[in-house]
Structures are given as structure tokens and as C-alpha cells.
Amino acid sequence: MTLESLYVKSTKQIFGVRGSLLFVKAIGGIRYGEIVEVSLDGTSILGQVIDVSRDIAVVQVFGSTAGITPGLTTVKFYGETIKIPASIDMLGRILDGLARPIDGGPQIIPEDYLDIHGNALNPALRIPPSEPIETGISVLDSLLTLVRGQKLPIFSGSGLPHNRIAMQIVRQAAVRGSGEKFVVVFGAIGVTYEEAAYFLNELRSMGALDRTIAFIAPASASTVEKLALPRTALTAAEFIAWNYDMHVLTILTDMTNYAESLREISAAREEVPGRRGYPGYMYTDLATIYERAGRVSTKKGSMTIMPILTMPDDDITHPIPDLTGYITEGQIVLSRDIWRKGIYPPVDVFLSLSRLMKEGIGKDKTREDHREVFSQLISAYAEAQYLRELSAIVGLESLTPRDKKYLEFADLFERKFMNQGEYERRSFEQTLDIGWEILSILPEDELKQISPQTLKKFHPRYRFEVEGRK
Amino acid sequence: MSSRVGRIYRISGPLVVAEGLAGVMMYEVVRVGEEGLIGEVIAIRGDRTFIQVYEETSGLTVGEKVVPTGKPLSAELGPGLIGSIYDGLQRPEKEIGVKTGSIFIERGVSVPPLRREVKWSFEKNREIKLGDKIAPGDIVGFVKETPLVLHKIMVPPEVGGYVKWIADDGDYTIEDSVAIVSLGDREYEVKMYQPWPIRRPRPHSEKLGPIEPLITGIRVIDYMFPIAKGGKAAIPGGFGTGKTVALQEITKWSHADIAIYVGCGERGNEMSDALTSFMKLLDPRRGRLMMERSVFIANTSNMPVAARETSVFLGVTIGEYFRDMGYDVVMVADSTSRWAEAMREISGRMEEMPGEEGFPAYLSSRLAEFYERAGRVKVLGRPERSGSLTIFGAVSPPGGDFSEPVVRSTVRYVQCFYALDYGLATRRHFPAINWLMSYSLYIDFVKAYWNKLSRWSEYRETALKILQREAELSDIVRLVGPEALPEEDKLTLEISRMIREDFLQQSALNPVDSYSPPEKDVMIMEAVMEFYRLAGRALMKGVTVARVRELKSRTLIAQMKYYTLEQLKSGVFENIVNSIRSDFKELLGG
Ligand SMILES: Nc1ncnc2c1ncn2[C@@H]1O[C@H](COP(=O)(O)OP(=O)(O)OP(=O)(O)O)[C@@H](O)[C@H]1O
Ligand SMILES: [Mg+2]
């Protein structure tokens, strides 16, 4: 917000207050979308013009309307839309939803003031995402590779360890290649006191803070701050990605809280509700956030977004995950069943998909055997799942030795490959090697997805031979 | 022009209400505010004019001017369309990027849709002589726009008279006149381009019935649920079920002369993926870049919502224009649901009576206006010719639930329904077109084409029956396991699996399999049917399905899709059929 800029107009004529909306007498020259300041004795809160006609301006207040008194309260119009200061010095800082420091540090000295709504990337200048980001988490890097410029959400449920996964990614994520600079922007929306404390602790204790910017709007923050946070975070991310040629990964959690805030405001505006009370424009609203991911032909940097959301009642058809899935390029779905088995991170690899992965893996990107290992792991695990179900009907005794190998494989897949320490970072190579290790318990002729050349080069049996001979 | 400059009275998102615009027409284009943002009149109530603004409205103020243009929202049609990437208002996005030097789409930028400085090599139509009577649609000359597209320069609809002058062969810009038509004391200069209001269907001389299929290169569509040239199809499905991939494949491989891809409220990365592949891939029938016959309209989900509607109408208008030249055009729209949602948003802001799930009552008629512009027609003008426009629209129902308003309204206007199935998609059966729920109403029209190639009617029916039977058996199988079924049913399940895996499944990612010409479809199906016939006989002689399943030729059939048509023709197909026969001979002999 350019609070410095001189406001030109003000009024005390408030016709009414409803929820977080103020109905104010319109004075000449009010701009649609502009920021207003509402002064209450001593303090002031901000708001935004969301509808304006010659007679009335509707102002959405970024906080509580308690204490607003028609006739006494002053509403000042700034003549500008919502802007934040942006600077490379935001790195290492912890800020709120409107980019104000909450880490006790100094104000951000802006290089620029930017409208948090941003602009749409020109579709004709985009180039398809095709290089990976290494999160250091095996199940993601091998089967659900995140690609620079992609938007790939985590669909979680309450009580599942999505926040820990988020922090692990903040700590570990990296891109390959010398001279490539990588930054994580972390945004927490509407999180509880405990969650916020956890994030702050983690962020402060991790060595990676200097390549991280964190934005936190706790549950107690105003609705509008929560609504602003993803955009504020992405505005900072864009500033760094496009002006400083950096690869920026933005993690946003929990977008369910964001959607709830959106619903709340829509209800206050008395809009015709869409499915389950969420506004009809929620798709577009979320799209204007997630579509900020991408790469363009004229810039070196990239914008990658990983939103995290909790599915109400674990229901993937709920409007929040549903509309998200319609916007993002795949989804990582966490599984309560696998979590109950004590496996971290508990990913349902069948419901999950990284749609852009195929372009981002293989030789010179991850490793040449990645594609084949990927297909083989998935198909073997699928076969094993089928056999698990079958053995539940016909009994374990009636399974063949081959079938039993598959069951053993499934256990290893979950306990050794998917399961991973929260502070354990595995490179692409390490991940793929573990993949080979567990695949090698299956008879060789079961590895149908793997070509003989790849098998000779990477299967532990032959690899060992080659290395042994040297 | 009788209308006057008005003033903004109210701003609410993409909706602006103006006062004082006396004499303004419905659907007239107006310029809103000092920046002259493009808007369109969508309702007039007393002195208040409701305007849907196609650009971001923040920063507008009450009292700013609104200037009428006297014209409806129009497309510019002429050489230069092919290979372009437009937004919903037909602004060329590449040129915008060059002009603004920015990676973002900024508002208020204006660049003409067709390049004014390019000189096209015009060749006049030798049939036309000075003094000839000339009418709408008559071809005055030709421009080789790309190696794949001969652009025919036509007399615009509503223009007619006598040829007073026609340009010699030579290089001209689109602003140069290439002919002068006179009627009485009025003269009309024919240029190489013409405007046309996007909401108005371009006239034609006669609607013609469907006669032949539009081959899409997708087996489950072409063989099982074929679409005719000039047909209308909907592809509904939840997220990730394969709508976009299907539409991209259709634009790539369809046996059409012109392909138009409309990305309406969808992802930017997808657009760039499509664009990049169109710049690399060759049209298999003509060996030229696909871009040389394609037009792109990219209005991504984060671009102004109101322009979603114009993107689809712009797409059809361009489609009709090429149809009028006598071409077969295919247009795909991804996704019509996003357009419907934009309608809902504007309607809500206008405080109209909401219909079901908040959609306006006119949702259905608007969808009809769109799909009804598809068709095969005898076009206006000489030489006599016919052309077609085939439309595929994706629908993205919330929660993948087909009972919602957009799917239900769409079904009423389309003849082909390709229902995408979440279950199939999670099992990675692609295209995830559910064979029990999908249909085509063009079967009778395309059967002559297919039966010339093979015993299509019979095989298709048999295959569908087997799939149907599999669905019936699946409940029993779930209870008692497959081994408890009688042999005959086991065979049904085995053949059904072959139909699903070896025929219906088709990977868009595999360079050979992604395009399947009809002759190839026929060969795969013939091999499956031959296997079925012989297996049925073997069963009667007491052979078990377990042994049939092990036959080597079973794997050979599964490999067929990875061969090109040429390979199949030059021996592979014959060999496979022979191995099937010898496998069974051995089985019975041994
Ligand atoms: N024919 C196909 N061959 C191979 N893979 C496919 C095919 N169709 C779909 N897929 C897979 O499914 C994924 C999702 O497909 P697609 O993007 O077309 O879905 P969609 O229905 O358009 O989803 P949304 O509604 O979210 O846009 C693709 O990224 C690809 O991995
Ligand atoms: Mg799609």
C-alpha cells in the first residue's frame, strides 16, 4: 500500500454496514478496486471498493467493522488499487498478508510498488515447462515430478502431515545446474496459532531461510488479509522470478482457508451462491492465483506453485479440491490409509498425477532410466494391490510364489521407497537407486516396462558385476 | 450514427452501467473510460445501458466517458488468420508481446488482427470478366496463404452488382482493393479481408445433411462413435479425464482442411504445449506443419472472463469463413463450462433472475446459438461448392457430475456425446471415453463409408455387445472371481479385454499410436474378430480359455497399434492373421 500517497477524498456519509461491507455515499472520482482507509478513534483499517455507482460505493473492509459509526467514522479514498512494496531484500524475511514485517526486522525498502493482482502472462510468450525441481522426497521426485513452471497441488485431509511435507520441501527443494538460482516463497493462510508457531520455528531454525520469503496470515487475521496473502506472496515471487532470473517455488497452505474466506465475503455481499455456498466465480478467482505459474521465452526465471489444501471430509469432489483440480496440472493426493500404516509421506500414487512430468524427466534432466523405472514401479505396485485384494478373497495360501514376491514388493515400496525421514534428503539418483533395489526382488522377466539395455545398465545385479570387475 | 457519448454510472467487476447513451444498439461495441476499454452492450433498461467489459476494470471511475462505435463486435477475416494466436477479441498475442515488450497482457493495447503491411500474392479468378454479375460468396481470386491453405477471396455477404474492375495478379496488402463492384451509382471495393459480426451466423445457401465421417484419428471415436463432417459433439468429463488431450488430438489429426483451437478459460501451459507441438508436428496426410492449417484462440482462465464468450464466437466465425471457401473445418472449444460460468457471473451482477445453479435462463439458448453454427452447407457464390464446420466442445461439470445444467443443456444440441469416465482415467485407460454412456447419432450416415472398408456394421455391433456383456458379468466376477464363470463367459471377458486394451486404448503420448487412420482401425478390429471367431470354435471343441489366453498371437494383436499403417499393410497384418490361424490350428491339432 502506498500509504505515502496523498489521499484526496474523504467522507463521513456511511449509509449502512453489513458484515465486512460498508455502504458509503459515493463522492466523485472513486475508482473501482481502489483502497480506502477507515479511521476509527485512533486506529484505522483498510478496505477496497468492490462496487461503485454514482450514488453508492460498496467498500469491503479488511478487518472488523466493529466500532464503525455512520456519521462519525471517516472513509478516505486513496485512488489506488492494492499494492505492496517489492524488493530482493524480502529474502530471509517473514511478512504478513500485506507484506508488512512480522519478524521484528525493518520495513522493506521497496524497489517497486506492485499491484498484488498482477497481470495475466501472455499465452503466446509462454513456453512449456520442461525441467524438474528436486524436492528430495522419493515418492514425489520419482513418480510425481514437479516441473518448473507447473502448478501442482497437494490434496490433504485434516490430521494428515501436509504441513510437515511443506516444510520439508521448503528446506530441501533445489534445481540442478550451475548458475541456476532457486528461491522458495512460503505462504500460510488462516493457519492456527500452533501451526503458525510450528512454521515460524521451522523457518527460523532451517539454514535455508536466506533463500526463502515467508508470508503468514494466521486464522485471526482479517478476512481480506487472508484473501490477499496468496496474491501478495505471488507478487513477491513474480518480482524475483522475472526481474532477478530466479526459479521460484511458491508453496501456499492451506488454500481451503482461503476458499472459506472467499465464501464468507461472497455471503456478506449477498451474492447468488454456487455449489455448497461457494461463489460461482471461485474457479476464476483461484485461476487468477494459480495461473501465475509458468515460464516465458524471454526470461530465465520460472514460477512454480504448489498449493496445499485439506479436503473437507476427505471428499475429492468437494468444490475446493474439484475446482483446484480443474486448474492445476495434476494433483498429489495424500492417503489416510497409508498414513495409518505409519508411512511418511503417505501418498496415494494411483489418484495422484503430475501432468507435466513427462517433459521434465529423463536424460540430462533427472536420469535416463527415470521413465522406465517410473512405469515399472507403478505397474508393479498396481499388480501388487490387485493381489492384495485377491488374497483377501481367496486367501494367501492360494497365491503363487510369483504373487508372493509382489506382496513383498508392495511392502518394500511403502516402507522403504515411499517412507522417508522428514529430515532425509534423497537426490534423484538415490531415489531411482532405491527404486531399482526394490524392483530387483521381482523376477527379471516381470520387469516388462524396462528395456534390456536399461536393465543391463541399472539393475543391481549387473551393476554390481560391472563395478566388481573394475 | 445517432448515439451520443455516455457516462459511467456504475462499475461492478466486468459489468459497467452507463447513462446517456441514447440510440445505442444491443451488442454494439462501446469504448469505456479514458483508456477506451472494449465493451459490448448486453442490455438496455431505460436510460441505463449495461456493458460487459472485455478488459480489467479496476481503476475506472464513475463519470468517465463511454463512447459508442456504431458497430457490433466483429471479426476481421482474411489472409493472415492461419498460424495466428488471438485473444477473445482477436488481438494477436504475439504482436502484442512485441509491441508492449512485456511478458504480460496489459489492458488497453490495440493491434489489428490481420497484419496491414504484409503483401500477399493475389491471383485473380480467370473465370470472372469485367461486367459480369457478381454476388456474395463469389470467388474473385486466390492467395496461397500457407503451403496447406489456398485462401479464396470472396465477395462479402450482402454485396452484389457488376464487376467494374478486378486487380491483376500481383502482390497486395489486405487494405488494397482487388475488385470494384458497382450497382447503380454505388460502388463497393472488394478487399482481401472482410469484417463479420461474431454473434451472427454467416449466411449460406442451403443446409446439407451429413454424408461422410470426419476422421479424427482416434479409434474409439472413428470406429465406435463416429462423427460426421459438419457434426456437433460434446466431450464432458471431470478434471483429469482427458478432455484437453482429446481436443488437442482431434485438432492435430482430423482429416479437416482447417483446424481452430479455442482455449477458453483454461490453462496457459496447455496452450503453449499445443502451440509448440503444432510448430513441430507434421500433418500425416500432407507432410506439412500443422500450424500451416490452424488458428489458435487463447483466452486463459486468468484473462478477463467476459472474453470467454467472444472467444467461442470468434472461433466459429473464423470457422464459417473457411467453410464458405468450401473447406472442411474442425473447431474445438475447451471448455464451454468456463464460458457458461462467465455468463453466470455477468448475469448475477446484472441482478437477473437466476436459473438452475445460478446460471441465467438463457444459458441453453446461448449454447444452441453456438452449436447450431456447425453443419455441412452449400455455401453462397460461384463456383458452386460445399463446406463443413464440425464442432467439439469440452464440458467440465463440477465433481464430474453429468446432471448439472451445462451438460444437460449441451446434450440437447449435440449429436455425439463422448462421456469421459473418472474410473477409466484413474486406471489410465485413455481415451477415457465410456463406451456404455457415449453415443453417436451419425451411424446411419457414415456406414456407407466404413462398410466399404470392412464389415464395419457387423464388427462394431459385435464389439459393443461384448463390452456390454462384460459390464453385466462384472458384478458376478466381483463376488465369485473370474474362474467360477462358464468358459463361454470367460471368452467374452477375454475378448472384451482385447477390445479395450488393444483397440480402444490409444496413447496420445506414443508417436505412432496417437494417430490411427481408418484402415488401421479396421485391421486391428479384424484381427481381434478373427481371434474371437477361432477361439469360439476352439471352445466348442473343448479347448479352455486359459489355453487360448496363452497363445502367442494374442500378444501380436496387442502390438498392432504400435505399427504404422504402412508397416501393417506391407506384411505385418498378414503375418499376424496367419499366426492367429496357425496358433489355433496347433491348439486343436495338439
Ligand atoms: N489419450 C491419452 N493418452 C495418454 N494420456 C492421456 C490421454 N488422455 C489423457 N491423458 C492423461 O491424463 C492427463 C489429463 O488429461 P487432460 O489434461 O486432457 O484432462 P482434462 O479432462 O482436460 O482435465 P481438466 O478438466 O483438468 O482440464 C494428461 O496429462 C495425461 O497424462
Ligand atoms: Mg483440460
Average pLDDT over residues B357-364: 92
- Of B167, B193, B219, which marks where a domain is finished? B193
C-alpha cell at B562: 504400435
What Cα–Cα distance (Å) separates residue A168 from each residue in A103, A160, A161, B115, B193?
Answer: 21, 14, 11, 52, 58
Any domain includes B108: no
Any domain includes B543: yes
State whether B259 and B402 are in the same domain. Answer: yes
Residue A94 and residue A104 in contact, taking contact as beta carbons nearer than 8 Å: no
State whether B135 and B229 are in the same domain. Answer: no
Average pLDDT over residues B464-470: 97
Q: What is the CATH number of the domain that holds B490?
A: 1.10.1140.10
CA of B243 to the centre of ligand 2 (A): 5
State whether B64 and B212 are in the same domain. Answer: no
Q: How many Å apart are CA B48 and CA B26, to the nearest integer?
A: 12
- Give yes or no for A129 touching B (CB within 8 A): yes
More confident residue, A424 or A9: A424
Q: Is there an atom of ligand 1 within 6 Å of B418 CB?
A: no
C-alpha cell at B304: 478477463
Domains of chain A: 4-81 (2.40.30.20), 84-131+146-352 (3.40.50.12240), 370-469 (no CATH)
State whether B484 and B458 are in the same domain. Answer: yes
Question: A8: pLDDT confidence band, cut at 50, 70 and 90?
Answer: low
Is residue A394 predicted with pLDDT exceeding 80?
no
- The reported pLDDT for the residue numbered A469 is 53
**A positions 17-76 inside 8 Å of B (CB):** 26, 28-34, 50-54
Question: A68: pLDDT confidence band, cut at 50, 70 and 90?
Answer: confident
What Cα–Cα distance (Å) separates residue A281 from each residue in A122, A285, A367, B16, B355?
Answer: 22, 6, 42, 18, 16
β-strand pairing of A353-354 with A212-218: unpaired
User: Given B58, B62, B509, which is nearest A54 (Cβ)?
Assistant: B62
Is residue A267 predicted with pLDDT exceeding 90?
no
Q: How far is CA B86 from the centre of its chain?
A: 16
Segment among A369-378, A385-394, A435-444 with least mean pLDDT: A385-394
More confident residue, A5 or B547: B547
State whether B494 and B437 are in the same domain. Answer: no
- The reported pLDDT for the residue numbered A1 is 42
State whether B379 and B526 are in the same domain. Answer: no
Binary contact (A322, B399; C-beta < 8 A):
yes
Any domain includes B24: yes
- The reported pLDDT for the residue numbered B204 is 96
What protein residues have CB closer than 5 angstroms to ion ligand 2?
B 243-244
Long-range contacts of A264-268 (CB under 8 A, 24+ apart): A264/A19, A264/A223, A265/A19, A265/A20, A265/A60, A265/A223, A265/A224, A265/A227, A267/A19, A268/A18, A268/A19, A268/A20, A268/A21
Structural domain containing residue B578 = 454-587
Kindly identify the ligand whose nearest atom is closest to the C-alpha of B247: 1
Binary contact (B341, A26; C-beta < 8 A):
no
Q: What is the CATH number of the domain that holds B179?
A: 2.40.50.100
User: Given A50, A280, A294, which is nearest B269 (Cβ)?
Assistant: A294
CA of B381 to the centre of ligand 1 (A): 42
Q: Is there an atom of ligand 1 within 6 Å of B509 CB?
A: yes
Residue B420 and residue B235 in contact, taking contact as beta carbons nearer than 8 Å: yes
Q: Is there an atom of ligand 1 within 6 Å of B241 CB?
A: yes
User: What does DSSP assign to residue A59?
Assistant: E
CA of B430 to the centre of ligand 1 (A): 8
Average predicted confidence (pLDDT) for chain B: 94
Is residue A6 predicted with pLDDT exceeding 60?
no
Q: Is there an atom of ligand 1 within 6 Å of B103 CB?
A: no
Binary contact (B271, A126; C-beta < 8 A):
yes
ipTM (interface predicted TM): 0.93
Residue A163 and residue A187 in contact, taking contact as beta carbons nearer than 8 Å: no
What Cα–Cα distance (Å) separates residue A165 from each residue in A149, A183, A307, A368, B509?
Answer: 20, 17, 12, 27, 31
Question: B229: pLDDT confidence band, cut at 50, 70 and 90?
Answer: very high
- Give yes or no for B276 touching A (CB within 8 A): yes
Average pLDDT over residues B9-32: 92
Select from A128, A140, A35 the least CA-distant residue to A78: A35
- The reported pLDDT for the residue numbered B1 is 46
Q: pLDDT tens-digit profile of B289-319?
A: 999 999 999 999 999 899 999 999 999 999 9
Domain count, chain B: 4
Segment among A41-45, B189-193, B258-262 with least mean pLDDT: A41-45
Q: pLDDT tens-digit profile of B520-568?
A: 999 999 999 999 999 999 999 999 999 999 999 999 999 999 999 999 9
Question: A26: pLDDT confidence band, cut at 50, 70 and 90?
Answer: confident
CA of B266 to the centre of ligand 2 (A): 7
Any domain includes B449: no
Q: Is there an atom of ligand 1 within 6 Å of B263 CB?
A: no
Average pLDDT over residues A405-414: 97
Any domain includes B273: yes
Any domain includes B82: yes
Q: How many Å apart are CA B477 and CA B485, to the nearest integer?
A: 8
State how far residue A23 is from chain B, nearest Cα, in angstroms. Answer: 14
Is residue A470 predicted with pLDDT exceeding 70?
no
User: What does DSSP assign to residue B502?
Assistant: I
Q: pLDDT tens-digit profile of B402-457?
A: 999 999 999 999 999 999 999 999 999 999 999 999 999 999 999 999 999 999 99
State whether B315 and B182 are in the same domain. Answer: no
Q: How many Å apart are CA A343 and CA A337, to the nearest integer?
A: 9
State whether B66 and B81 are in the same domain. Answer: no
Instruction: Write the residue with the smallest CA distance to atom 18 of ligand 1.
Output: B242
Q: Which residues of A162-183 are buried (b: 16+ CB within 10 A; e: fewer)?
A: bbebbbbbbbbbbbeeeebbbb
Q: pLDDT tens-digit profile of A428-442?
A: 999 999 999 999 999
Segment among A189-203, A227-241, A297-311 with least mean pLDDT: A189-203
State whether B173 and B230 are in the same domain. Answer: no
Q: Which residue in chain A is spatially nearest to B348 when comparing CA positions?
A: A272
State how far residue B333 is from chain A, nearest Cα, in angstroms. Answer: 16
Any domain includes B236: yes
State whether B429 and B524 are in the same domain. Answer: no
Q: How many Å apart are CA B217 and CA B254, to the nearest integer?
A: 6
State whether B438 and B527 are in the same domain. Answer: no
Q: What is the CATH number of the domain that holds B42?
A: 2.40.30.20
More confident residue, A441 or B107: A441
State how far residue A9 is from chain B, nearest Cα, in angstroms. Answer: 13
Average pLDDT over residues A362-380: 95
Is residue B365 predicted with pLDDT exceeding 70?
yes
State whether B149 and B32 are in the same domain. Answer: no
State how far residue A25 is from chain B, nearest Cα, in angstroms. Answer: 13
Long-range contacts of B539-545 (CB under 8 A, 24+ apart): B539/B487, B539/B488, B539/B491, B541/B588, B543/B587, B543/B588, B544/B487, B545/B487, B545/B490, B545/B491, B545/B494
- The reported pLDDT for the residue numbered A2 is 45
Q: Is there an atom of ligand 1 within 6 Å of B29 CB?
A: no
Q: Which residue in chain B is spatially nearest to A290 when comparing CA positions?
A: B302
Segment among A61-70, A420-429, B87-96, B258-267 with least mean pLDDT: A61-70
- Of B193, B216, B241, which marks where a domain is finished? B193
Any domain includes B29: yes
DSSP letters of A404-462? HHHHHHHHHIIIIII---TT----HHHHHHHHHHHHTTS-GGG-TTS-HHHHHHHSHHH
